[in-house]
Amino acid sequence: MLRAMSEDRLIELETRMAYQEATLQQLNDIVTAQQRRLDQLERALRELASRVARRDEGLPKATAADDIAPDG
């Protein structure tokens, strides 16, 4: 069957495969970069949440009297 395949057809398939491999590598690079950025953002969010929690520890607890009645 391979013998029946023309040389032009074989070159076309090899060319397509090379482009697909390059595209897959580009997509992999993008996904890897996005994962690194996501990891950075998750660390930043955890740090901010920790800072807010530490700040809130020193504050008195809110009561119903602290609620502001709406105007109206």
Q: What is the pLDDT of residues 4-63, one digit of tens each?
A: 679 899 999 999 999 999 999 999 999 999 999 999 999 999 999 999 998 988 777 777
Q: What is the pTM of this model?
A: 0.61
Look at phi and psi of residue 50 and say left if phi exceeds 0, alpha if psi is from -120 to 50, else beta.
alpha
The total of structural domains in the chain comes to 1
- Which residue's structure tokens are 């076309």? 12
Instruction: Return the pLDDT at 29.
Output: 98
Instruction: Return the pLDDT at 65.
Output: 65
User: What's the domain range around 39?
Assistant: 28-54
3-class DSSP assignment, residue 4: coil
User: 37 in a domain, yes or no?
Assistant: yes
Q: How confident is the model at residue 3 (pLDDT cuts 50, 70, 90)?
A: low
Instruction: Give Cα 57 distance to the centre of its chain.
Output: 32
3-class DSSP assignment, residue 59: coil
Instruction: Return the pLDDT at 61.
Output: 78
User: 70 in a domain, yes or no?
Assistant: no
The answer, yes or no, to whether residue 68 has pLDDT greater than 60, is yes
User: 47 in a domain, yes or no?
Assistant: yes
